[in-house]
Amino acid sequence: MQSKTKNKELQLFIILTSLFIAALITCNLIANKFVLIDLGFKTFIVSAGILPYPITFLITDILSEIYGRKMTNKVVMSGFFASMMVLFFLWLGSQPSAIETSPVNDDTYNTVFRNAWRVMGASMIAYLSAQFLDVKLFHFWKNLTKGKHLWLRNNASTIGSQLVDTTLVICVLFIGVWEKGDIIQAIIDGWIFKMLCALIDTPIFYMCTSYFKGKFGLGLNEEVSL
């Protein structure tokens, strides 16, 4: 019975890790496109890469709650190495010339991925800083509240880490390219949009952690040991 539970714990960990890495890489691949998102009360100008990014923070919060800080940090590092591998193959794919009948020619490929080095470089600097900060803040609030008030650590950790992430990405990408006012507005828009996403995913965080804790028989402040 214990072995069966361990298998389920490991299986869930692998699934969450896979979803995390998939969302992270998708963020980087579509980050060059900027879009308008009209929510009625405000229109946000954000990178398309911001759309799947809140998923990464939801998953790290779930991992932190169920598997602890050490295992979550390993997932963060796995995402970093996966992104570096994608960046390498994007560069490798640009080296040979496209054949005449290729659906994607060299110009199209380079137009889409020419900024990949800068985007992914900015993303990785922000990613490591923000994700490790998110995990650290999550466990700070978890220890402070003795495992209570899930909503507090879920949102309080994301507020600080997402501000760091948004500021670093926008500054690395656009200092010297955009005007100062545009950079500040982009940071504000990106951060507020991420905060709204964090509030929306709070019920999802509650449902997931409650379900998995019950499934694995975890008590208050207990974590899975893999």
Side-chain-side CA neighbours of residue 168 (13 Å): 18
The domain locations on the chain are 2-216
Whole-angstrom distance, CA of residue 212 vs CA of residue 54: 20
Widest distance between CA atoms in the chain = 64
Determine if the pTM surpasses 0.85.
Answer: no
Beta bridge partners of 76: none
Whole-angstrom distance, CA of residue 141 vs CA of residue 119: 32
Give the DSSP letter of residue 16. Answer: H
Asked if 79 contacts 156 with a C-beta cutoff of 8 angstroms, the reply is no
pLDDT tens for residues 99-109? Answer: 999 998 988 88
Whole-angstrom distance, CA of residue 135 vs CA of residue 57: 9
Asked if 119 contacts 32 with a C-beta cutoff of 8 angstroms, the reply is yes
* Amino acid residing at 65: E
The chain-wide mean pLDDT, for the chain, equals 82
Whole-angstrom distance, CA of residue 76 vs CA of residue 59: 10
Side-chain-side CA neighbours of residue 192 (13 Å): 14
In degrees rounded to 5, what are phi and psi of residue 45? -105, 110
Tokens of 217: 């028989």
Residues 6+ apart with CB under 8 A from 176: none
pLDDT tens for residues 55-70? Answer: 888 898 899 889 988 8
Nearest to 202 by CA among 152, 140, 151: 151
Query: What sections of the chain are H helices per DSSP?
Result: 2-29, 53-67, 69-94, 106-113, 116-144, 150-174, 180-216
What kind of fold does domain 2-216 have according to CATH?
Arp2/3 complex 21 kDa subunit ARPC3 (1.10.1760)
The packing angle between helices 116-144 and 2-29, to 10°, is 140
pLDDT tens for residues 26-58? Answer: 887 887 788 888 888 888 888 888 888 788 888
Nearest to 126 by CA among 91, 167, 92, 160: 167
pLDDT tens for residues 177-224? Answer: 788 888 888 888 888 888 888 788 888 888 998 899 888 888 877 888
pLDDT tens for residues 134-186? Answer: 777 777 777 777 767 667 776 777 777 778 878 877 887 778 878 888 888 88
